[in-house]
Amino acid sequence: MGMCKPTGGIYKLYGPYGKNIKDIDGRPPNSRTDYYDEVTGKLLQQRWYDAEGKACWDRDWDHNDSRHTHTFPHDHYWQWERNKEHPPRPEYTGPNGEKTNKNYW
């Protein structure tokens, strides 16, 4: 898995709390989308796109967690090789148990 750097630009998106960024492909290569709550302006999610414009990494800053099982922020990576239409997005766990990968900014 290669590291995604937002050299293609950072794009802001506003929408309702509890939703995710919809675009998973067809974005500018090596870009990032930052998703903000349309009411509070709070950062909810970031999505990095690879050299092909496909989602490669997500960072969730806040979302519904009624069971209180998540720590925030936490990361997910995309497994395109498993499903080309809507790949799985497993939660990241680093070698020391960390939930965010410091290689993404």
Largest interatomic CA distance in the chain? 37
Give pLDDT tens digits for 48-75.
999 999 999 999 999 988 888 888 999 9
Banded model confidence at residue 3, pLDDT cuts 50, 70, 90: low
Contacts for 39-43: CB closer than 8 Å, 24+ residues apart: none
Entry pTM? 0.88
Going from the C-alpha of 80 to that of each of 13, 73, 85, the distances in angstroms are 24, 23, 8
Domain boundaries, the chain: 10-77
Going from the C-alpha of 48 to that of each of 24, 39, 68, the distances in angstroms are 9, 24, 26
